[in-house]
Amino acid sequence: MRGTKRVRQPLWRWRSNPLRRHDDIVEAWIVLAVWLVIAIGGTLTGLLTAHAADASFARLRHERHPVQAVVVSATTPTAGIGADTPYDRVQARVRWTATDGSTHTGRALVDYGHRAGSKVVVWLNSKEQPTTQPPTASAAAAEAACLGAAAALAFGGLAFAAGRFTQWRLDQRRYDQWGREWDQVGPQWRRKTT
Closest CA to 53 of 160, 169, 167, 135: 135
Q: Please state, in angstroms and rounded to a whole number, the distance separating the CA atoms of residues 38 and 43.
A: 8
| Contact in structure between 137 and 61 (CB atoms under 8 Å) | yes
- The one-digit pLDDT tens for each residue of the chain (194 residues) are 566 776 666 665 566 777 777 888 888 899 999 999 999 999 999 999 999 999 999 999 999 989 999 988 766 655 555 555 556 778 888 998 887 888 888 888 887 777 888 898 888 888 888 888 899 999 999 999 999 999 999 999 999 999 999 999 999 998 998 899 888 888 777 666 55
Q: What would the pLDDT profile of 64-79 be if each residue is shown by its tens digit?
A: 989 999 988 766 655 5
Whether this prediction's pTM lies above 0.75 is answered by: no
